[in-house]
Structure 1
Amino acid sequence: MEERDRDSGITLAELLAAFSLATDLGLGQPMEHLLRAWRLATGLADRLGVAGERRDELFYVAMLSWVGCVADAPEVAASFGDDIAFRAGSYDADLAGLSGAAFFARHAAAGQATPRRIRAVATLMLTNGNRVARGIQSHCLTTAVLAERLGLGHEVGTALRQFFTRWDGRGVPAGVGATDVSPLVQLFQLADVAEVHHRHGGVDAAVGVARARRGGQFAPAVVDAFCAHAGELLDGLGDTVDVPRVLAAEPALCRRLSERELDAALEGLADFTDLRSGWRAGHSRGVGELAGRVAGVMGLPPRDLTVLHRAGLVHDIGLHGVPVTVLGKPGPLSVTEWERIRLSAYYTERVLARPAKLGRIGAVAALAHERHDGSGYHRGIGGAAVPMTGRILAAACAYRAMLEPRAHRPALPAKAAAGVLRSEVRAGRLDTDAAHAVLTAAGVEGRQARRPGPAGLTPREVEVLVLIARGAATGDVAARLGISRKTAGTHIERIYAKTGASSRATATLFALRNGLLDPLDL
């Protein structure tokens, strides 16, 4: 079996459950909103007798229904200002008829001068909201494309294309309603809205919004089942979701991804994250590819190469919590806006905190904006506190971003970007070895043979150093790496000779100084 076909230790359900936390941020909701809504929809499915084999489809619909909001986020921001605030407010409005028109009018050109807002409202009325409808269609199509990339079935794709339909046929696509709407959509539409209203106003509020939209947005039978069992369905819904436990109870959601499938899934999520801003298309994929090449240039162990590539793919997943109006602002950011950018790195780590193998990727990904002198974010750590994987990711992200246009500047030519990267090294903000390796991997400083690790350590010697610094004896090293005790002893002797260490303690200090003893590697 090829290495990339081996079990990754992560299921698609676990990955999408994690990604749903980022989607929650983009909806202006607290994390685990979509997970709670899924649990509510599952309870409704049980009471309505929805076939058991469709429970996994309901999960994927719940996790992905709102993912497409990144696809139309720039358009939403252009029409309604802060896209996150707009989506958060939409839960309080029935978006058809007069109530929908009033909601869109209130948010048209939000944050702009009064004349601009008046023109925006007039445009909405004259065009009958056609631009909004096109954005919704884009949302649904983009989400269905992601489902296809993830290998999900036809029923999931169909449901995702219908997420903005209504029972009364007044949604998007126009004229699709009643029994033509997927049962999965009928269930999750109500659960999505009811969870928000229950959190804000309790059971009575959730029942009230369901009844108010019965026969309009929501299917009557689903509303009736919900109202009849609301107390028991909503009981405990506000508790933190024990994701491993609830997923383990659903056998259809327990198939693990291969290493190859995990990479493909992370690439898909990276591409969708970058859709949040028109300036960032391809950024995360580019950072992942570059960081992986840099690990090879520096001679890091294969595991670090894999982690760096994957961390690069998802390092900006926390940007789902930052409004497009901030990401695309051409001028200086306010203190509040800058704080939202800083928090994005925290969100990245929080979103990817579980399961453990994904948490490792997330911990490295959250270091993309840290700086060697401690001036970065979100923790503001530097020096030995940042492992070599984090130093590489920071340099790769910085270089790749300079090659891309942003709202406040054009893209830089490769040589100019290299000059800026070197100036960051001189200022102490980026690690010298990491930045040099980035420029080598990018082809700016010419091709060269693989560089050894610090003090000329080979990749295998780096692995051995990490193990002995963690307290492993010679026999433990041999067992962990599948080598003989004699070979392990030879590696240790060479490490001591190359690093000038005279004991495990001094070898550990060498590893720390050079970012090899990763504090994230438990």
Structure 2
Amino acid sequence: MSLAELLAAFSLASDLGLGQPMEHVLRAWQIASRTGEHVGLPREQQEALFYVAMLSWVGCVADAPEVGALFGDDIAFRSDGYAYDLAGASAFRFFAGHAAAGAAASRRILATAALMATNGREVVRGMQSHCMTVSSMAQQLGLAEPVGEGLRQFFTRWDGRGVPVGIGGTDIALPVRLFHLADVVEVHHRVGGVDEAVKVARTRRGSQFDPSIVDAFCDIAHDVLPQNESHTELRELIADDLALRRPLTESELDVALESVADFTDLRSLHRAGHSRGVADLAAAAASKLRFPADRVQELRRAGLLHDIGLHGLPGTVLDKPGPLAATEWERVRLSAYYTERVLARPPALARIGATAALAHERMDGSGYHRGVSGSAIPVAGRILAAACMFRALIEPRAHRPARSVKEASEVVREEVRAGRLDAEAADAVLAAAGVGGKRRTGPAGLTPRETEVLRMIARGASTVDVARTLGISKKTAGTHIERIYTKTGSCSRSTATLFALRNGLLDPLDL
């Protein structure tokens, strides 16, 4: 997988946070790139344009709690912002109209007064935080300095009335000026067609947008605006650019996924480190259950990304201090669906996403988003669910304080007794967390070693392969296989494989 493919997938989560359909950012990049060809964007700056486009809105998670405190639903706030030129009287109407949205009239009046008295100081501070935070992400990912510089200029304007104040005109990097226009016209084109896209570009010419870019865009709008019904294939988009196609090493991929996880957790004031914690705990539990090293690594990556769908959940729901309404719970349930959708492409992420989306499923079918149960949940999904629950319990949330490790372990055990968590997975998670966990046998009385051997032979390993991989004699490996067949009532590798699948011991994607 290349970094470009990963960030293109991550941009789908950014779309959710903007209240836009998935692929908004990708389509905006297409518009900016095509327009750039007509205004002389140097070839070497095309790569910077791509990364600026993919990352520009990622920083919105950095100030999501603050935006929620000032303007209510942060996703609705950002979505509505595309209709306004955010400077002068237009900006005042927008911010005043959204101050404390959803609150009582008295609070809205006070919020509007505070906004006027401080001249929007908190809004400016949020923009600065956004830019600096996402710039640090670019640095962590090893992107070139022009990308970081461009991201720090994201809230600038051609007329110099943006953030930082006074930076405008040609002092703004050309890739940024191109994306400023493309980000807005993509929304207006999707809603109102080519005429509406051209109209908003001309209306903001010389204020928000570079006049020369507006003029070039209006001349070729019919050619550069993508068809609304088109479906963007990530690999096709970057196929012609060798720089974007460079594959990540395994260690680089882990660093990139950790960065995505950290940014996802920023959506809430109470979730810092949650995704990393779940990932490490799930991986440690899988190791205790003798998962192969590659599956442990895969499960850790799924843990890092299991909450990426939360980008589609407003902070007012995510950090609500009281009980959630039915409609709010439905949005929470959708977050697991969004996780699976965001990670559905490219293929290298789809496998991770299939596991990540299981983090909130339960053995009795009461989880979400699919409501699957029992053997339909692979062991990796059961481990992830237990790890996610335990880790969440020992972290504070808006509606409760953090539980102690002992209290959390008792809750997890109660969930096992109630049939919602898998006993073997929960015990492995608790053992990995250092709070005990009983040694249990698997289905049909299989020992942990026999379960490990069953997974191997189900994937096609011979007796010799099992012996070599586990460092045991061929005779011992054969004895393990005979006992597996006896305990499971199997007579061949195929029937043993079916037993493993029916009991959730094997991910169907392995076969």
TM-score over 0.5 (shorter chain): yes
1:464 is the counterpart of 2:456: yes
After alignment, is 442-451 or 243-252 more displaced? Answer: 442-451
Q: Given the superposition, is the C-alpha separation of residues 263 and 487 from structure 1 closer, same or farther in structure 2, using an over 3 Å criterion?
A: farther
Q: Given the superposition, is the C-alpha separation of residues 187 and 114 from structure 1 closer, same or farther in structure 2, using an over 3 Å criterion?
A: same
Deviation at 1:495, TM superposition (A): 4.0
8 Å contact from structure 1 (residues 38, 62) kept in 2: yes
2:123 aligned to which of 120, 123, 132: 132
1:184 is the counterpart of 2:175: yes
- 1-structure distance, mates of 2:165, 2:229: 35
- 2-structure distance, mates of 1:202, 1:120: 36
2:40 aligned to which of 26, 49, 61: 49
1:317 aligned to which of 298, 308, 314: 308
Q: Given the superposition, is the C-alpha separation of residues 119 and 414 from structure 1 closer, same or farther in structure 2, using an over 3 Å criterion?
A: same
- 1-structure distance, mates of 2:275, 2:405: 18
Listed as ranges, the matches of 1:49-448 within 5 Å are 49-236=40-227, 238-445=229-436
Q: Given the superposition, is the C-alpha separation of residues 517 and 137 from structure 1 closer, same or farther in structure 2, using an over 3 Å criterion?
A: same
Question: Which residue of structure 1 lines up, in the alignment, with residue 506 of structure 2?
Answer: 517
Q: Given the superposition, is the C-alpha separation of residues 65 and 341 from structure 1 closer, same or farther in structure 2, using an over 3 Å criterion?
A: same
Q: Output the amino acid matched with 2:504.
A: G
Alpha-carbon displacement from aligned partner over 1:181-213 (angstroms, at most 9, x marks no partner): 011110001000000000000001000000011
Question: Which residue of structure 2 lines up, in the alignment, with residue 4 of structure 1?
Answer: none
Aligned partner of residue 31 in structure 1, secondary structure: coil
8 Å contact from structure 2 (residues 71, 101) kept in 1: yes
Report sequence identity in percent.
Answer: 62
Question: Which residue of structure 2 lines up, in the alignment, with residue 506 of structure 1?
Answer: 495
8 Å contact from structure 1 (residues 466, 516) kept in 2: no
After alignment, is 488-497 or 345-354 more displaced? Answer: 488-497
Q: Output the amino acid matched with 1:393.
A: L
Q: Name structure 1 gaps, 5 residues minimum.
A: 1-9
Deviation at 1:450, TM superposition (A): 13
Deviation at 1:97, TM superposition (A): 0.4
- 2-structure distance, mates of 1:458, 1:504: 14
Query: How many pairs does the alignment contain?
Result: 507
Alpha-carbon displacement from aligned partner over 1:424-469 (angstroms, at most 9, x marks no partner): 000000000000111100001179999999434357624423224x
Q: Output the amino acid matched with 2:312.
A: G
Q: Given the superposition, is the C-alpha separation of residues 260 and 229 from structure 1 closer, same or farther in structure 2, using an over 3 Å criterion?
A: same
8 Å contact from structure 1 (residues 392, 434) kept in 2: yes
- 1-structure distance, mates of 2:5, 2:179: 19
Q: Output the amino acid matched with 2:280.
A: E
Q: Given the superposition, is the C-alpha separation of residues 385 and 460 from structure 1 closer, same or farther in structure 2, using an over 3 Å criterion?
A: closer
8 Å contact from structure 1 (residues 457, 498) kept in 2: no
Alpha-carbon displacement from aligned partner over 1:363-393 (angstroms, at most 9, x marks no partner): 1000000001110000000100000000000
Deviation at 1:476, TM superposition (A): 12
Q: Given the superposition, is the C-alpha separation of residues 481 and 353 from structure 1 closer, same or farther in structure 2, using an over 3 Å criterion?
A: farther
- 1-structure distance, mates of 2:134, 2:374: 41
- 1-structure distance, mates of 2:55, 2:277: 24
Aligned partner of residue 214 in structure 1, secondary structure: coil
Q: What is the RMSD computed on CA atoms of the aligned residues?
A: 2.5
8 Å contact from structure 1 (residues 294, 437) kept in 2: yes
Q: Output the amino acid matched with 1:465.
A: I
Q: Output the amino acid matched with 1:518.
A: D
Aligned partner of residue 257 in structure 1, secondary structure: coil
- 2-structure distance, mates of 1:133, 1:93: 17
After alignment, is 422-431 or 507-516 more displaced? Answer: 507-516
Listed as ranges, the matches of 1:18-29 within 5 Å are 18-29=9-20
8 Å contact from structure 2 (residues 307, 336) kept in 1: yes
Q: Given the superposition, is the C-alpha separation of residues 328 and 314 from structure 1 closer, same or farther in structure 2, using an over 3 Å criterion?
A: same
8 Å contact from structure 1 (residues 36, 237) kept in 2: no
Q: Given the superposition, is the C-alpha separation of residues 30 and 434 from structure 1 closer, same or farther in structure 2, using an over 3 Å criterion?
A: same
8 Å contact from structure 1 (residues 465, 511) kept in 2: no
8 Å contact from structure 2 (residues 362, 420) kept in 1: yes
8 Å contact from structure 2 (residues 158, 168) kept in 1: yes
Q: Name structure 2 gaps, 5 residues minimum.
A: none
Alpha-carbon displacement from aligned partner over 1:43-65 (angstroms, at most 9, x marks no partner): 01111111112111111000000
Q: Given the superposition, is the C-alpha separation of residues 126 and 248 from structure 1 closer, same or farther in structure 2, using an over 3 Å criterion?
A: same
Deviation at 1:488, TM superposition (A): 12
Q: Given the superposition, is the C-alpha separation of residues 235 and 18 from structure 1 closer, same or farther in structure 2, using an over 3 Å criterion?
A: closer
Aligned partner of residue 248 in structure 2, secondary structure: strand
8 Å contact from structure 2 (residues 441, 447) kept in 1: no
Q: Given the superposition, is the C-alpha separation of residues 355 and 454 from structure 1 closer, same or farther in structure 2, using an over 3 Å criterion?
A: farther
Q: Output the amino acid matched with 2:382.
A: R
Question: Which residue of structure 1 lines up, in the alignment, with residue 447 of structure 2?
Answer: 455
Aligned partner of residue 256 in structure 1, secondary structure: coil
Aligned partner of residue 447 in structure 2, secondary structure: helix
Q: Given the superposition, is the C-alpha separation of residues 57 and 488 from structure 1 closer, same or farther in structure 2, using an over 3 Å criterion?
A: farther
- 2-structure distance, mates of 1:426, 1:255: 49
Q: Output the amino acid matched with 2:459.
A: L
Q: Output the amino acid matched with 1:467.
A: R
- 1-structure distance, mates of 2:13, 2:464: 40
